Amino acid sequence: PAYLDRAGAPRAPADLAGHQILLTAGRAQPGEWRYAGADGRELVVKLRPRLTVSDVDATLSAARDGHGLARPLSYQVAEDLAAGRLARLLERFEPAPLPVQLVTPSARLMPVRVRAFLDHAAAAIASLPVVRTSA
């Protein structure tokens, strides 16, 4: 919010060119962000980041401190958004959410520790406020 007070909020992906970008390296397509266009076509924004780091926590810390805009995954910022430490931008351009799946080679002869982990992981993922489950 401190950064947005100074620089204003982008209204469309093309507006990002005039903003300070905080980038977490190591993710796919590190030099660009992709958005969903109104006509169903993908919008690609080439980035010239102000800061590039290899750790998402460092990126989020810089964003919280008002140094620019970041694009983390929703579960990484759910608490910050709820507390007002970060703001969600360009919502109408967000791509569709990706499904999260827990996959094992076979349920047959699965070790008890693997079943315990899967049960724990499924419950933890389902409890995240940003996760929508489908029946």
Cβ-contact 59, 53 below 8 angstroms: yes
Q: What pLDDT does residue 55 have?
A: 92
Instruction: Quick: pLDDT tens for 51-89.
Output: 999 999 999 999 999 999 999 988 889 889 999 999 999
pLDDT band at 10 (very low <50, low <70, confident <90, very high): very high
Q: pLDDT of 79-124, one tens digit each?
A: 899 999 999 999 999 888 777 788 888 778 888 999 999 999 989 8
Tens of pLDDT, residues 22-46: 999 875 556 889 899 878 789 999 9
Q: Is the pTM of this model over 0.95?
A: no
Q: Which residues pair with 42 in a beta bridge?
A: 36
Report the C-alpha gap between 99 and 127 in whole angstroms. Answer: 15
- Backbone φ/ψ region at 122: left (φ over 0), alpha (ψ -120 to 50), beta: alpha
Would you say 129 and 78 are in contact if contact means Cβ atoms under 8 Å apart? yes
| Cα–Cα dist 21/74, whole Å | 18
Going by C-alpha positions, the residue among 82, 67, 64, 57 that lies closest to residue 22 is 67
**Tokens, residue 12:** 């469309």
- Closest listed residue to residue 51, CA positions, set 75, 76, 70, 27: 70
